[in-house]
Amino acid sequence: MGDGVLITIEGIDGCGKSTQAALLCEALVARGLPVGPAGAPGTVLREPGGTPAGEAVRDILLHGPDSLAPWTETMLYAAARAELVARVLRPGLAAGRVLVLDRYIDSSLAYQGYARGLGIDAVLAVNAPAVGDAMPALTVVLAVAPATGLGRATGVRDRIEREGIALQRRVADGFAELARRFPQRIRLVDGERPVAAVAADVTALVAPLVEGRGV
């Protein structure tokens, strides 16, 4: 898998992960590291999406019919992920790049596996062939109260956000469960604090992974 590094930022809707992922990319670029895919250096990758087919699937997932059967939803997220892994993540990691993802497999485990009740192991099994060894070296979960998250979400709510706070509460519990289950890889960061304080913690967690690299 080359000497690339995969870092994922996760959490409930409105936890601030897009802001933090962008700040992390900036900090890594400032260190002279080869960040993001070669075709779009310096950028954050987002899930679902990040490839033409993945963006089309995203449209179905977030702006399509209100009700999707839980396994339909799970497999569509996994399909978008398979495309991203094959076309962007594997080539990027093989080329030694540092890739920052705004959501990845843990979102499926927390939303579909835990919150929808399909089971973390069952959802992991569906994703395993798509992801293979392209697992994150580090996953930062930004922990915020569900009310904070929904309060921050601006603009038109997507299909998942429209389901409201009960789902977000289960998702938050799901991420806490994942952090207990994979303590080596997943780290919780208190996302209720000012942006700069959260960013400092995220950068400190990432630093050992890029030690000795860059300029």
Alpha carbons 167 and 159: distance in angstroms, whole number:
12
Nearer to ligand TYD, 46 or 97 (CB): 46
Q: Which tokens sit at 55?
A: 């963006």
Q: Select the span of 25-33, 85-93, 106-114, 128-136 touching ligand TYD (CB under 6 A).
A: 106-114
Candidates 41, 44, 38; CA nearest to 202 is 44
Q: Please, which residue, 33 or 109, has the CB nearer to ligand TYD?
A: 109
The DSSP bridge partners found for residue 101 are 8, 45
Q: What are phi and psi of 6, to 5 degrees?
A: -110, 125
Of 107, 130, 136, 144, the one binding ligand TYD (CB under 6 A) is 107
Q: How far is the CB of 75 from ligand TYD (least distance, A)?
A: 11
CB closer to ligand TYD out of 76 and 210: 76
- Which window, 24-32, 34-42, 102-110, 196-204, contacts ligand TYD (CB under 6 A)? 102-110
Q: Does the footprint of ligand TYD cover residue 10 (CB under 6 A)? A: no
175 lies in the binding site for ligand TYD (CB under 6 A): no
Q: Which of residues 120-159 bind ligand TYD (CB under 6 A)?
A: 158
Determine how β-strand 186-190 pairs with β-strand 5-10: unpaired
Burial class (CB within 10 angstroms; exposed 0-12, middle 13-18, buried 19+) of 101: buried
Phi first, then psi, for residue 118 (nearest 5°) are -75, -20
Query: Residue 77, interface with ligand TYD (CB under 6 A)?
Result: yes
Report the residue from 37, 103, 175, 206 that binds ligand TYD according to the rule CB under 6 A: 103
Alpha carbon distances (Å) from 30 to 27, 83, 93, 102, 194: 5, 29, 20, 20, 22
The residue ranges that bind ligand TYD (CB under 6 A) are 13, 18, 47-48, 62, 77, 102-103, 107-108, 111-112, 158, 160-161
